[in-house]
Amino acid sequence: MLKVNLLTRDGASIAFDAEPSDTLLDAAANANIFLPAVCREGGCGTCRVTRKAGVVVLGPHSKAALTDDDRAAGDILLCRAKACSDLELTAPFDKAAIGFSPIPERSARVTEISPAGAGAVRLVLQYEDDPTHGRATEFIPGQFMELTLPGTSITRAYSLANTPNWDGTLEFLIRLHPQGVFSAYLKSEAKIGDPILVKGPQGSFTADEASHAPRWFVAGGTGVAPMLSMLRQMADFGDTREARLYFGVNTLDELFALDIIEDLKTSLPNLAATLCVWKSAPDWRGFTGTPADALAAALAAESAHPDIYVCGPPALIKATEALSLSAGVAHDRIFSEQFSPA
Ligand code: FES
């Protein structure tokens, strides 16, 4: 049995034993330590941590989940790594993102489905009373829930856009994919009152509360959902630090959540939001290009180094990480969550 020690972003030391035949994710789960993960097969990057000492063997994985730059910096994927020696690891998330009992599954019902621009919907659920959890919606802004398609065992993971609350409300912004089964349900079958099983909270994409650096958020499409959750919590807490939001879509008609962003700018006087449209229309007066393009221009004009939070498709994550690193932002100050394959 090998010894693994994982140091979280907020300084907690999590120790567990690992057989060389087990992935580190499974080894931790065997010790009732449930580390952040989504796909469990090397595709999403949610389980990425940094190896500080020791040797691992790393199984097949997507280059989007773990880039060559990540590997050069010592990063590994817990769902693909097996220990070959005792290990010292550091995690880019706080202890609060780790579960020490199985992830809760709770019943909820659909209370609202409405368009969010041309290619997405806003889905609102309401938890039913639960003998263990009551009604409250508990999570850390930035985390996601796994929703089960009614009448099936098909699940999809979506980030919450609202903040923790006592009345059991869960708000999601969900991109509609032409071939997606959950998308098909949302487009043509979903109705108020439908029961949906919710498993969570899960995920490690959360704000580093110990850092006093400015927070710059880079979002592609519905990747803005976890950013809105984090910004809404900053507004609730009266956080006065500098924050920027670079939010991009492909076409003008895909823009959404503009009312929420305007409200946030009122509550957070030090928030600047840049709306980015890739294929610009003649009457568009915002930024033309991707949010990564807008970020690159901003980093070139700045000497201070912010914490960068990026969520969206793999190409946006990759571009944001590469340009942030070349602008001098430290590897451990870039936090990412990429859309998982369905
Ligand atoms: S959970 Fe490890 S890469 Fe997705």
Residue-wise pLDDT tens digits, 22-79: 999 999 999 999 999 988 999 988 999 999 999 999 999 998 889 888 899 999 999 9
Secondary structure (DSSP) of 250-286: EEGGG---HHHHHHHHHH-TTEEEEEEEEE--TT--S
Question: Looking at the predicted structure, is the pLDDT value of residue 339 above 80?
Answer: no
Q: Is the dihedral of CA 142, 24, 88, 13 positive or negative?
A: positive
246 lies in which domain range?
Answer: 215-338
Q: Is the dihedral of CA 335, 168, 103, 11 positive or negative?
A: positive
Compute the distance from residue 340 Cα to the ligand 1 centre, in Å: 9
Compute the distance from residue 44 Cα to the ligand 1 centre, in Å: 5
Share of the chain above pLDDT 90, in %: 86
Distances from the Cα of 208 to the Cα of 92, 302, 305, angstroms? 9, 21, 15
What per-residue confidence (pLDDT) applies to 340?
63
Which CATH number is 168's domain given? 2.40.30.10
Question: Looking at the predicted structure, is the pLDDT value of residue 215 above 70?
Answer: yes
Within-domain flag for 208: no
What average pLDDT does the chain have?
A: 94
- Rounded to whole angstroms, the Cα distance separating 44 from 12 reads 25
Ligand 1 atom nearest to CA at 36: 1
Phi, psi for 109 (deg, rounded to 5): -130, 150
> Cα angle at 224 between 200 and 203, to 5 degrees?
25
Within-domain flag for 207: no
Q: Quick one: 188 and 263 in the same domain?
A: no
Q: Quick one: 54 and 143 in the same domain?
A: no
What per-residue confidence (pLDDT) applies to 39?
87
What per-residue confidence (pLDDT) applies to 320?
96
Of 202, 232, 257, which residue sits at a domain end? 202
For the beta carbon of residue 16, count every other beta carbon within 10 angstroms: 19
**Would you say the CB of residue 276 lies under 6 angstroms from ligand 1?**
no
Q: Looking at the whole model, is its pTM more than 0.95?
A: no
Q: Quick one: 33 and 54 in the same domain?
A: yes
User: Please, which residues have CB within 8 angstroms of residue 75's CB and are 6 or more apart in sequence?
Assistant: 48, 49, 50, 51, 66
Q: Quick one: 63 and 156 in the same domain?
A: no
Of 65, 97, 129, which residue sits at a domain end? 97
**Would you say the CB of residue 62 lies under 6 angstroms from ligand 1?**
no
Within-domain flag for 17: yes
pLDDT digits (tens, 9 = 90+) for 250-303: 999 999 999 999 999 999 999 999 999 999 788 899 999 999 999 999 999 987
